[in-house]
């Protein structure tokens, strides 16, 4: 019987082993850190000038439209991504405490770093078919219909009218409100786009929207009332 392999976790295990491996003292590494811990290795070299050049390039080219602010890992938690430039050092090296990343690497430079968020659009696989903000806009604009309302209810953004229904399920309320505002900023600039943005639903409207969601999705009320993707 074949066994499925979680390649993403395998790669993360490999990267972590690389960080803890005893290596020559002239190695440099560029990584993305999540809340201060290694997330992904971007680049590795033995050339100091090349290492700093790549750090500056990644920093300056980090152009993200809708940055990820939360992750669903044991709960909905806020995240901070950073770009770290590291240099390996030997056991005899003297390194200031605030420059130590771990027992083998010291920190040469760092900066904030954004990761583009992706979204769970109802009717699409929530893991393999997540959509970027621009993909969402493209999908919405492909549908030729009358004016659609855009409104936030809990962690969901509804884009709908009597003819069509779309719903984006966000990680939390704050993400849903951010998405509503970003869609407003993007769609209002497009000629012919027919959307009315209504902000966050009040209690009376929320009850009505629960009925709409139930009718369109078949979800039960417990699932509809959730305020995050963490049950």
**Which among 215, 229, 119 is positioned nearest to 160, based on CA atoms?**
215
**DSSP letters spanning 89-101:** --TT----GGGBS
Place 46 in a pLDDT band, splitting at 50, 70 and 90.
very high
Looking at the structure, tell me whether residues 151 and 219 fall in a common domain: yes
Looking at the structure, tell me whether residues 154 and 201 fall in a common domain: yes
- 229 domain residue, yes or no: no
pLDDT digit string, tens, across residues 185-213:
999 989 989 999 999 999 999 999 999 99
Q: Of 88, 112, 136, which one is at a domain's C-terminal end?
A: 112
Looking at the structure, tell me whether residues 66 and 84 fall in a common domain: yes
- 1 domain residue, yes or no: no
pLDDT digit string, tens, across residues 152-187:
999 999 999 999 999 999 999 999 999 999 999 999
- 217 domain residue, yes or no: yes
What mean pLDDT is predicted for residues 53-81?
96
- 215 domain residue, yes or no: yes
Looking at the structure, tell me whether residues 101 and 154 fall in a common domain: no
pLDDT digit string, tens, across residues 3-18:
333 445 545 565 555 5
Is the pLDDT at 48 greater than 90? The verdict is yes
Looking at the structure, tell me whether residues 105 and 29 fall in a common domain: yes
**Which among 76, 49, 62 is positioned nearest to 112, based on CA atoms?**
62
Looking at the structure, tell me whether residues 138 and 73 fall in a common domain: no
The residues, ordered by sequence, that sit 6+ positions from 140 with a Cβ below 8 Å of its Cβ are: 148, 159, 166, 183, 187, 195
Q: Of 112, 134, 167, which one is at a domain's C-terminal end?
A: 112
Q: What is the pLDDT of residue 100?
A: 61
Looking at the structure, tell me whether residues 107 and 169 fall in a common domain: no
**Which among 77, 60, 168 is positioned nearest to 114, based on CA atoms?**
60
Q: State the residue range of the domain holding 204.
A: 120-224
**Which among 39, 79, 68, 77 is positioned nearest to 230, based on CA atoms?**
77
Looking at the structure, tell me whether residues 108 and 127 fall in a common domain: no
What mean pLDDT is predicted for residues 94-110?
72
Q: Of 63, 79, 112, which one is at a domain's C-terminal end?
A: 112
- 40 domain residue, yes or no: yes
Query: For 116, which DSSP code?
Result: B
Looking at the structure, tell me whether residues 100 and 130 fall in a common domain: no
Looking at the structure, tell me whether residues 163 and 127 fall in a common domain: yes
- 130 domain residue, yes or no: yes
Number of compact structural domains in the chain: 2
Looking at the structure, tell me whether residues 102 and 124 fall in a common domain: no
- 230 domain residue, yes or no: no
Looking at the structure, tell me whether residues 11 and 107 fall in a common domain: yes
- 2 domain residue, yes or no: no
């Amino acid at each position: 019987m074949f066994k499925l392999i979680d390649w993403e976790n395998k790669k993360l295990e490999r990267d972590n082993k690389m960080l803890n491996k005893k290596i020559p003292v002239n190695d440099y590494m560029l990584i993305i850190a999540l809340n201060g811990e290694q997330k992904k290795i971007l680049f590795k070299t033995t050339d100091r000038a090349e290492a700093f050049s790549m750090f500056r390039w990644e920093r300056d080219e980090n152009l993200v439209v809708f940055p990820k602010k939360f992750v669903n890992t044991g709960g909905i938690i806020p995240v901070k991504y950073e770009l770290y430039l590291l240099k390996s050092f030997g056991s005899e090296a003297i390194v200031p405490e605030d420059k130590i990343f771990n027992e083998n690497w010291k920190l040469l430079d760092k900066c904030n770093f954004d990761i583009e968020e992706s979204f769970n659009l109802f009717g699409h696989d929530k893991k393999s078919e997540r959509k970027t903000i621009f993909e969402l806009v493209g999908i919405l604009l492909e549908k030729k219909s009358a004016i659609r309302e855009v409104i936030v209810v809990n962690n969901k953004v509804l884009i709908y009218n009597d003819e069509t229904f779309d719903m984006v399920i966000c990680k939390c309320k704050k993400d849903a409100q951010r998405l509503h505002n970003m869609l407003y900023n993007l769609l209002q600039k497009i000629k012919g786009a027919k959307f009315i943005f209504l902000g966050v639903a009040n209690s009376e409207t929320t009850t009505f929207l629960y009925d709409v969601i139930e009718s369109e999705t078949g979800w039960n009320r417990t699932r509809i009332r959730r305020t995050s993707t963490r049950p």
